[in-house]
Amino acid sequence: MESLSEFYLDTELQELDFNYISSLLIASNYPLEELKKFDRYEVFPLLHSNLLSVAGEWAEFDEEWLYARCERFYQKRFSVRHRILYLLLNVFLYKMRKAYWTEIEKRIKLS
């Protein structure tokens, strides 16, 4: 979760960031599609507002706070209402992190 939260900081990720995030995601041993679901249904619902904020968080999110809140969204993950709500919202905001996923996917596929 922490590595995916980097997508939501008010900074632009650099080559070293992509390499680091990719290495963490690869080490997790989760398939790419499952990682995307973690993003879509747990991290995105929690942090999407930072993408819209004029003065959003730019350093990092508190790890304990992040895990505790993502756990709550994980438990809602299979709710039809939750999935529909965040799928629709994601349609509008995915473009803000699509390039990040493209970079991550390249690195994961090369590993």
**H/E run at residue 74:** helix 63-76
pTM for the model stands at: 0.81
Q: Give the distance between the most distant pair of CA atoms in the chain.
A: 37
Q: Which domain holds residue 33?
A: 2-110
What's the number of domains the chain is made of?
A: 1
Q: Which residue has the tokens 């390249």?
A: 106
Instruction: Say if residue 97's pLDDT is above 80.
Output: yes
User: What confidence score (pLDDT) does residue 31 get?
Assistant: 94
Give the integer Cα–Cα distance in Å for 3 and 60: 10
Q: What digits encode the pLDDT tens for the residues 36-74?
A: 999 988 899 888 888 776 555 556 788 888 888 888 888
